[in-house]
């Protein structure tokens, strides 16, 4: 089966994308507005983009009714900064509260029972319960299509990782992180604890394997 993207309805295109690109990492993004009011909202159109410079990308869809932009996008435009808080299994229930489109005067930290920690280089607070937090500065934002969709590229200025998760060689205990990702469907997630290893091979190893296989075919 195949389709031209332009021939699909918005709903069907969305279904195909979010049901095939899985699992999707989750950024619980914290920001403040120009009056220093806090906001927290999760986004699964998110990933790390580069390590040099250290960049993250964040897809922020707008609202279908006024005001057109979500608070996260308004705040990033106002301050030029944000914090990406990664979500582990223990944080999922609080994250779902932050996903509610609460009134502007409701503080998601308070609503979700989240403790805040001050950032080192940006105004927005970090979520203390998150095992990993990236303080970011907006480098560029691009607007696309309808519904005020924005692609935000942010440079990581400061990294926080929970004590005990990184060894002296900067190896991270991924299983102990117990991060979650989005799966198809509104309420489904997965953790990163189910893993397997497939060693990468060198060109020489690949060439040797190919010669062996060729000899086997000749025989």
Give the range of the structural domain holding residue 128, as residue numbers without chain letter: 5-218
Number of domains in the chain: 1
162 confidence band (pLDDT: 50, 70, 90) = very high
Give the N- to C-terminal CA distance of the chain in Å, as an integer.
39
Quote the pLDDT of residue 43.
96
Quote the pLDDT of residue 145.
73
113 confidence band (pLDDT: 50, 70, 90) = very high
Could you give phi then psi for residue 177, rounded to 5 degrees? -60, -45
CATH number at 205 reads: 2.30.110.10
- Global pTM value: 0.91
User: Under DSSP, is residue 51 helix (H, G, I), strand (E, B) or coil?
Assistant: strand
Percentage of the chain lying above the pLDDT 90 cut: 79
Q: Which residues of 107-138 are buried (b: 16+ CB within 10 A; e: fewer)?
A: ebbeebebebeebeebbbbbbebbbbbbbbbb
């Amino acid at each position: 089966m195949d389709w031209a993207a332009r021939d699909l309805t918005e709903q069907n295109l969305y279904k195909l994308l979010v049901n095939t690109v899985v699992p999707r990492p989750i950024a619980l993004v914290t920001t403040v507005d120009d009056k220093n009011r806090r906001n927290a909202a999760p986004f699964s159109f998110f990933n790390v983009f580069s390590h040099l410079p250290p960049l993250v990308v964040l897809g922020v869809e707008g609202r279908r009714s006024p005001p057109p932009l979500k608070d996260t996008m308004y705040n990033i435009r106002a301050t030029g900064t944000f914090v990406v808080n990664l979500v582990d299994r223990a944080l999922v229930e609080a994250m779902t509260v932050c996903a509610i489109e609460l009134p502007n005067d409701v503080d998601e930290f308070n609503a979700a029972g989240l403790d805040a920690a001050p950032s080192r280089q940006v105004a927005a607070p970090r979520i203390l319960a998150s095992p990993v937090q990236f303080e970011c500065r907006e480098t560029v934002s691009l607007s696309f299509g309808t519904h005020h969709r924005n692609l935000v590229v942010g440079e990581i200025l400061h990294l926080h990782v929970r004590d005990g998760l990184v060894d002296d060689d900067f190896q991270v205990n991924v299983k102990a992180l117990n991060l979650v990702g989005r799966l198809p469907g509104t309420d489904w997630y997965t953790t990163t604890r189910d893993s397997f290893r497939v060693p990468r091979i060198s060109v020489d190893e690949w060439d040797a394997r190919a010669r062996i296989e060729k000899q086997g075919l000749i025989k």
